[in-house]
Amino acid sequence: MERLTLRHPRGESAIVVGAGALAAAADELARWWQGRRVFVVSSAPIAARFAGALEGIEPAGAALVHLEVPDGETAKTVEVARRLWEGMLAAGGKRDSRVVALGGGTVGDVAGFVAATFLRGIELTQIPTTLLAQVDAAIGGKTAIDLPGGKNSVGAFHHPHLVVADTELLASLPRADLRAGLVEVVKMATLLDPGLLDVVEEGLDGLLDGDPRSLDPVVARAIRAKVGVVEDDPEESDRRRLLNLGHTLGHAIEAVLDYRGLRHGEAVAFGLLFALRLARRRGLGPDVARRLVGLLGRFELPPLPPLAAQRLVDTMARDKKARESGIVWVLPVAMGEGRAFADVPLEEVERELEAFLREPFKL
């Protein structure tokens, strides 16, 4: 078990990480809830599995109000946010009420956004229940909902008061969800912590089996890497952009597939593979590229569905990470080092994309 601190412009987030983190944070949660309304935002399947654990730590005078959102990306709409705002108001929510986001990245995003905006912002705890949310989405204060024309188009930075990343909650995750979360770990390791990549390579079988002895050190180390970047650049004006590696194409793939068929992490894995192609043409050594392709090859990714290169390019150009001047690509330039490139010619992207869609694992 580890306790980390993320310092941000408006204060600090405490992060309790490891097997049994929820039990270890129970007293702290109880103090934070004492005498208040606590809005626990979750999807039905997650609430059925984990909400009971929260009832056990409910202190006297706290009222837990459960608010349900749909499962998956469909939770991140204006309509769902509005339902949550109205539910909180109707249940007597005040400036000092609390929000608990209990779930994966989509629950954390919408619950965080609602906490950021309800009565101009109320305090939030993130209790991520997927690997992806534990290592990435719940850390660093990004909150968002989608518009029909773009994922995460509306959002705010709203740092949680506390993040409880309990790796025991990952025990029943399907292998595909673990794999999807591990892609974000590979992303962070590639850019920030090459030693973490060694650990993932060596322990991949245990990690994909959800073995807590393998997961614990990896989750803690990935969170430490992310904390470092967010503390350096809390609102993504520079270094935090590195965390978008693989997301430029990844988000476009998700959008073109209408958020069905591939998990976010799986789409990012394909985005990362494509980034390696562009990076090779900008000096990334063949050994690094081959190593990453080899590792992602062991992830047993589902096949990439048929996609049209032109649609992907059009979607990327509309993405919120694109600037008015064009698409910005985050590419690894060496192991442990990445850079943002704003000058990749569109013709090159189109040409490489055609080849990539035929053979995603070829460099």
Would you count residue 142 as binding ligand GLY (CB under 6 A)? yes
Q: Which is nearer to ligand GLY, 37 or 159 (CB)?
A: 159
Would you count residue 140 as binding ligand GLY (CB under 6 A)? yes
Q: Do the Cβ atoms of 295 and 186 come closer than 8 Å? A: yes
Asked if 290 is an active-site residue, the reply is no
**Minimum distance, C-beta of residue 14 to ligand GLY, in the bound complex (Å):** 18
| Number of chain positions touching ligand GLY (CB under 6 A) | 6
**Minimum distance, C-beta of residue 93 to ligand GLY, in the bound complex (Å):** 27
Asked if 55 is an active-site residue, the reply is no
Q: Which is nearer to ligand GLY, 17 or 243 (CB)?
A: 243
Does residue 263 sit in helix, strand or coil?
coil
Asked if 251 is an active-site residue, the reply is yes
**Minimum distance, C-beta of residue 78 to ligand GLY, in the bound complex (Å):** 22
Q: Which is nearer to ligand GLY, 207 or 245 (CB)?
A: 245
* Burial environment of residue 71 by CB neighbours within 10 A (0 to 12, 13 to 18, 19 or more): middle
C-alpha to C-alpha distance for 21 and 15, rounded to whole angstroms: 9
* Burial environment of residue 229 by CB neighbours within 10 A (0 to 12, 13 to 18, 19 or more): buried
Q: Do the Cβ atoms of 210 and 170 come closer than 8 Å? A: yes
Which residue stretch of 56-64, 134-142, 288-296, 310-318 sits at the interface with ligand GLY (rule: CB under 6 A)?
Answer: 134-142
Which residue stretch of 112-120, 136-144, 188-196, 314-322 sits at the interface with ligand GLY (rule: CB under 6 A)?
Answer: 136-144
Asked if 152 is an active-site residue, the reply is no
36, 37, 179, 184: the catalytic one is 184
**Minimum distance, C-beta of residue 229 to ligand GLY, in the bound complex (Å):** 8
Q: Which is nearer to ligand GLY, 179 or 240 (CB)?
A: 240
Q: Do the Cβ atoms of 20 and 45 come closer than 8 Å? A: no
Does residue 153 sit in helix, strand or coil?
strand
C-beta neighbour count of 306 within 10 angstroms: 6
Q: Which is nearer to ligand GLY, 2 or 236 (CB)?
A: 236
Asked if 247 is an active-site residue, the reply is yes
C-alpha to C-alpha distance for 227 and 7, rounded to whole angstroms: 8
247, 263, 277, 280: the catalytic one is 247
- What's the gap between Cα 43 and its chain centre? 17
How far lies 234's CA from each of 6, 140, 183, 220, 238, in Å?
A: 10, 7, 22, 20, 9
Asked if 184 is an active-site residue, the reply is yes
98, 263, 264, 280: the catalytic one is 264
Two tokens, residue 287: 């050994």
Would you count residue 136 as binding ligand GLY (CB under 6 A)? yes
**Minimum distance, C-beta of residue 310 to ligand GLY, in the bound complex (Å):** 27
Asked if 239 is an active-site residue, the reply is no
C-alpha to C-alpha distance for 220 and 222, rounded to whole angstroms: 6
C-alpha to C-alpha distance for 4 and 223, rounded to whole angstroms: 9
DSSP state of 61: T
Residue list 211-250, contact with ligand GLY (CB under 6 A) = 236, 240, 243
Asked if 264 is an active-site residue, the reply is yes
Q: Could you tell me which residues come within 8 angstroms of residue 297 by beta carbon, excluding any fewer than 6 positions away?
A: 361
Chain residues binding ligand GLY by CB under 6 A are 136, 140, 142, 236, 240, 243
* Residues labelled as active-site residues: 120, 142, 184, 226, 236, 240, 244, 247, 251, 264
